[in-house]
Structures are given as structure tokens and as C-alpha cells.
Amino acid sequence: MIKYNISNSLGPKIFYSIDNHLLYQIIQENDDVINDDEFVSLVEEQLKLFLTHNPEVDSPLYYKFNTNSNNTKVLILLKDDVELEFILGDKEKDFLSSTSSNTIVGKTSVFIFPSVVSYKCDSNSVIGFDLELTKDKKYKKII
């Protein structure tokens, strides 16, 4: 696994890692990956990498998948040469303050980013899910 923090006009808010073959394999073999313990532990590993490289994290954090107050997105790419666009702000209404970044990535890539950043890509090329990162101790501790 190789990890990157994308530092561009969006700042160091998007975590990117490649060569996540085990995650990809579990997705191919399982319809309900959120309830697969091995998949969850691999996603936890990615989350820990993302959060330990984020200077804004200064206290323990907890997480839960698919809550009503999701604040983080996780994308796993399923195809090669996928064009992915990250968008911060509304390009139509806030064209002076919005920004975007395009990249072409391959399968087994993982992106983790805040929900305020949206994305566009071919929906058949990616599996995505939401999670809530919080300081609330009733969820599972991540760091």
C-alpha cells in the first residue's frame, strides 16, 4: 500500500492510497462489505493513516458507518483509468470561491475526505460509503 495526501487547492483534506488489493478482493467477493469484519478492519487501517497525518486532529476520535450525521466519505475504485473530480463549494452559485481538482486513478485506490467535498465520476467505477467521525465515545474508537 502506498499512501498520499493530496495537497492542492483543496488543501491536505483528501487522503489517497493505492494498491489496496485486499479491499478490492473483499468487495468482489461480498455484497455486504460493511458487515464484513476483514473489510472493516482494512478500512479502519486506512482511516488511521488519514487521521494521523491530519494536523487538525488533536484528540481521540470515534467512528460509525452510515449514521444520520455522516461527515466523511470513503471511495474505493473498482476500475482502472477512472477520471475523478473533487469539488469544494458550488461551482454555479459560488464560482468565485469554489474550486475543483481532477485526477485519473486506477482500481484498488482509496480516497477518504470530508463530506463538504463532493465528487463526480462514473458510478460503476467506484464503491462509496459514508461514516461519521466524532468525539462521542459511544462509537468505536479509531485513534
Q: Is residue 96 in a domain?
A: no
Q: What is the pLDDT of residue 8?
A: 47
Look at 50-54, 78-82, 102-106, 119-123 and tell me which has the smallest mean pLDDT: 50-54
**Which range of residues forms the domain containing residue 46?**
2-79+103-115+124-137
Exposure b/e, 94-103, CB count within 10 A at least 16 = b? eeeeebbbeb
The reply to whether 14 falls in a domain is yes
> Does residue 84 sit within a domain?
no
Domain assignment present for residue 110? The answer is yes
- Considering the chain, what is the average pLDDT of its residues? 86
Residue 50 falls within a domain, yes or no? yes
pLDDT tens digits, one per residue of 79-113: 999 999 998 887 777 777 788 888 899 999 999 99
Residue 143 forms part of a structural domain:
no
In terms of phi and psi (left: phi > 0; alpha: psi -120 to 50; beta: otherwise), the region of 122 is beta
What's the pLDDT at 138?
A: 92
pTM (whole model) above 0.95: no
Between 1 and 90, the higher pLDDT residue? 90
Instruction: Decide if 107 is inside a domain.
Output: yes
With cut-offs at 50, 70 and 90, classify the pLDDT of residue 1. low
The span from the CA of 77 to the CA of 110, in Å, is 7
What percent of the chain clears pLDDT 70, i.e. is strictly above it?
Answer: 92
Asked if residue 132 is part of any domain, the answer here is: yes
Write down the H helix ranges in 12-142. 21-29, 37-52
Q: In the predicted model, what is the mean pLDDT of residues 28-42?
A: 92
13 pLDDT exceeds 80? no
Rounded average pLDDT over 40-63: 89
Structural domains of the chain, count: 1
